[in-house]
């Protein structure tokens, strides 16, 4: 067995961050390091090692993650393991839409069911810790057409514990059901900073045109916390709404460097989203003109795994 070199906690976390961010490939050396650090004596190191597994949804990790989720003594490690299992729910959900035989993944229908059942047991168990339940709901949120998942998100949103409401909004963005629109729009003006932050993020991820006016108000607010302003600016780009363009264009000339840079990124996103929406409209127009035409297949949807915010809820 290869002995790992002695490293400080800082060195371990730095290496893990490089793996998670893609600066180091998932080669045999990285995998050897991960296997070792998954059982590190420091909980923060174990949690960060688990976070790296988002980028390697190999079924070989399923049993490891389930064991960590069920048995690790540290709540943060358990939460990371539960969230990491959500990647398999995403892969399984994608495969059900694309036909399992043709989907480019090695996850099997059996793995999909096994992971989903495990997460449901955690999410629905009143004896489980609240943190475990909320992250299980977030992980299950990818099951878009599952009424049990919709019920769990609704339950979390209506719960008196604000942490569950925060997770519910995060889950709504992942789930994408149109029924969540009114909830998200209502929370854009929430006095709770975390809830408002998640509502802004969800508005952008779901491209809610209805949120444009509220997002503009937040983005322009001089007394609004800067992180929220920046998120609102980027969310405006994600909406692709026509009225967002001149606002974003003005922000690119801001005296504030951060605002300028985010506005430029938001404008790039705005052009991408607008082009995609126009493509859909054109295909629908063609379909209306030719009722015998097959249903349009829309490609080029954004890869949620390219966005670090979408890989793990930092709530």
Instruction: Say which residue, 259 or 287, is predicted with more confidence.
Output: 259
Mean pLDDT of 39-51: 95
**What stretches of 206-315 show up as alpha helix (H) in DSSP?**
212-220, 226-239, 244-251, 257-289
Taking the C-alpha atoms of residue 207 and residue 173, their distance in angstroms, rounded to an integer, is 10
- Please say whether the beta carbons of 216 and 183 come within 8 A: no
Answer whether residue 308 shows pLDDT above 50. no
Going by pLDDT thresholds of 50, 70 and 90, the confidence category of residue 27 is: confident
Residues 6+ apart with CB under 8 A from 168: 137, 153, 154, 156, 157, 159, 183
- In the chain the domains, ranked by start, together with CATH numbers, are 177-298 (1.25.10.10)
Going by pLDDT thresholds of 50, 70 and 90, the confidence category of residue 100 is: low
Per-residue model confidence (pLDDT) at position 131:
94
Mean pLDDT of 201-220: 98
Going by pLDDT thresholds of 50, 70 and 90, the confidence category of residue 283 is: confident
């Amino acid at each position: 067995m290869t002995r790992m070199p002695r490293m400080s906690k800082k060195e371990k976390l730095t290496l893990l961050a490089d793996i998670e961010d893609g600066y180091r490939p998932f080669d045999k050396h990285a995998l050897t390091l991960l296997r070792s650090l998954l059982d590190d004596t420091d909980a923060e190191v174990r949690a960060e090692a688990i976070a790296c597994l988002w980028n390697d949804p190999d079924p070989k990790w399923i049993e490891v993650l389930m064991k960590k989720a069920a048995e690790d003594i540290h709540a943060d490690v358990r939460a990371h393991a539960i969230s990491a299992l959500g990647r398999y729910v995403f892969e399984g959900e994608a495969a059900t839409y694309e036909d399992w035989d043709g989907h480019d993944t090695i996850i099997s229908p059996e793995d999909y069911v096994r992971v989903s059942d495990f997460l449901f047991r955690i999410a629905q168990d009143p004896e489980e810790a609240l943190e475990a339940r909320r992250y299980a709901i977030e992980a299950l949120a990818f099951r878009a057409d599952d009424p049990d998942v919709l019920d769990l998100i609704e339950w979390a949103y209506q719960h008196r514990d604000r942490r569950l409401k925060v997770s519910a909004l995060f889950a709504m963005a992942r789930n994408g059901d149109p029924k969540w629109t009114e909830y998200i729009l209502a929370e854009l003006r929430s006095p709770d900073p975390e809830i408002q932050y998640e509502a802004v993020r969800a508005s952008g991820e779901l491209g809610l045109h209805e949120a444009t006016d509220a997002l503009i108000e937040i983005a322009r607010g001089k007394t609004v916390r800067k992180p929220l302003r920046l998120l609102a600016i980027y969310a405006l780009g994600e909406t692709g709404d026509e009225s967002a363009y001149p606002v974003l264009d003005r922000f690119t000339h801001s005296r504030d460097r951060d605002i300028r840079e985010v506005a430029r990124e938001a404008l790039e996103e705005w052009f991408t989203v607008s082009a995609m929406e126009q493509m859909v409209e054109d295909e629908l127009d063609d379909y209306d003109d030719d009722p015998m035409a097959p249903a349009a297949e829309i490609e080029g949807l954004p890869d949620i795994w390219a966005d670090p915010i979408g890989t793990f809820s930092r709530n």
